[in-house]
Amino acid sequence: MDNLSFDKKGVPVTLLGLNNAGKTSLALRLATGKWVGNTAPTIGVNFETYRAGDSLLKIFDVGGHEVLRRQFWINYAANSYGILFIFDASDKKRTEEGKEWFWYLINNLKVERRIALAFLANKADLESMQLEEIIETLKLKDLSKFPKISYQIFEVSVKTSMNISNAMEWFTRKVQDFSKDRIVSPKGLIISSIFGNIKLFLDFSDVNQNLISVLDLLSNVLKDEEHTLSDEKIASVVSNYGQIVFQERGEIVLSLITEPDDSQVDAQRLIELIYDHLEKKVAESKEELIEYITTTLKIPRENCREISEYTF
């Protein structure tokens, strides 16, 4: 989780594929609407945004060299609501390599929620494999064995923009739908300063029984220089009473306590919504803020207990 930034608006999706398949060119076309050729190889991860109507996607363009595939692919894909997998249909010499790494991704992708997958057979403007041949060679029909993955296969050309709009229309719709599926059971929420002063502590399921442990853990994490939070970093820790997913924005830290196996990406999305509410200053009172939080977290107001202020 540490590699993904959830503090900007938009739904996170991951762009994957072998090096030279056209990932960065696609990311730039989606971001700018223009063809950008001769892009430099992605070393690590690049970030772009794509807007379609009211929808905004945060695209993480992950490098396609082998060392990056092993280091980043699974982590980024598992923490996204959608995957754009781009395949160079004009490079038959790398077909087996592409097949190997595509199935490496699928077979190692462990997600608790639905995820969208757009398989993009790129470079259709060149002499390329036919779509039927790609489906047969890469055994793409086997994707039906993975019920959590909603997939569609598209023949595209990033250079000419052929079929890109159709692919992205389907992909964006699916991602937006799936981002509404929240697999989180909130146990508590803490709003504190980076200096350790708790402004609001809401208990939904007897977190107070472990209050000292929770505060000690947060204190150690937030004050440890090696784990210092920033606008570009999120974090999660798991202890015997559950998982704490936390994020800093400015001088405010939000810590959401959930069940140990809850989806971290969905927990971060909930934190985002609460942050946005705080920044807009919609709430005129603490009670109004609590009402908004319980509604966002789908917690009955009567199940929410406010704990007195504490300091780490």
Per the structure, how many domains does the chain have? 2
Q: Give a yes or no: residue 137 inside a domain.
A: yes
In 3D, which of 297, 291, 295 has the Cα closest to residue 271?
297
Q: Give a yes or no: residue 140 inside a domain.
A: yes
CATH for 292: 3.30.450.60
| Six-digit token string for 304 | 């929410």
Q: How sure is the predictor about 112, in pLDDT bands with cuts at 50, 70 and 90?
A: confident
CATH for 127: 3.40.50.300
Q: Which of 157, 179, 201 is the last residue of a domain?
A: 179
> For residue 43, is pLDDT > 70?
yes
Residue 152's alpha-carbon distances to 71, 121, 165, 169, in angstroms, are: 26, 11, 14, 11
The verdict on 197 and 175 lying in the same domain is no
Digit-coded pLDDT (tens) for 117-174: 999 999 999 999 999 999 999 999 999 999 999 999 999 999 999 999 999 999 999 9
User: Do the Cβ atoms of 221 and 237 come closer than 8 Å?
Assistant: yes
The verdict on 126 and 202 lying in the same domain is no
The verdict on 196 and 107 lying in the same domain is no
Q: How sure is the predictor about 38, in pLDDT bands with cuts at 50, 70 and 90?
A: confident
Q: Give a yes or no: residue 2 inside a domain.
A: no
The pair phi, psi for residue 262, each rounded to 5°, is: -65, 155
Quick one: the chain helix, strand, coil %, rounded to 5?
A: 40, 25, 35
Q: Which amino acid is at 309?
A: E
Digit-coded pLDDT (tens) for 297-309: 888 888 888 876 5
> For residue 107, is pLDDT > 90?
yes
User: Do the Cβ atoms of 26 and 8 come closer than 8 Å?
Assistant: no
Q: Higher model confidence: residue 283 or residue 288? A: 288
The verdict on 301 and 213 lying in the same domain is yes
Q: Which of 148, 179, 210 is the last residue of a domain?
A: 179
The pair phi, psi for residue 23, each rounded to 5°, is: -60, -55
The verdict on 162 and 21 lying in the same domain is yes
Which residues span the domain enclosing 75? 11-179
Q: In this predicted structure, what is the pLDDT of residue 224?
A: 53
Digit-coded pLDDT (tens) for 263-273: 777 788 788 88
> For residue 6, is pLDDT > 60?
no
The verdict on 147 and 75 lying in the same domain is yes
> How would DSSP label each residue in 125-152?
TSS---HHHHHHHTTGGGGGG-TTEEEE
Q: In this predicted structure, what is the pLDDT of residue 182?
A: 63
What SS3 state is found at 294? helix
Q: Chain-centre distance of CA 152, in angstroms? A: 20
Q: How sure is the predictor about 3, in pLDDT bands with cuts at 50, 70 and 90?
A: very low
Q: Which of 179, 211, 228 is the last residue of a domain?
A: 179
Of 99-108, 212-221, 251-260, minimum mean pLDDT range: 212-221
The verdict on 160 and 300 lying in the same domain is no
Q: Give a yes or no: residue 279 inside a domain.
A: yes
The pair phi, psi for residue 58, each rounded to 5°, is: -100, 110
The verdict on 171 and 44 lying in the same domain is yes
The verdict on 169 and 278 lying in the same domain is no
The verdict on 123 and 251 lying in the same domain is no
Q: Give a yes or no: residue 5 inside a domain.
A: no
The verdict on 43 and 120 lying in the same domain is yes
Q: In this predicted structure, what is the pLDDT of residue 219?
A: 67
Average pLDDT in the 58-84 region?
Answer: 87
Q: Give a yes or no: residue 6 inside a domain.
A: no
The verdict on 232 and 163 lying in the same domain is no
> For residue 79, is pLDDT > 90?
no
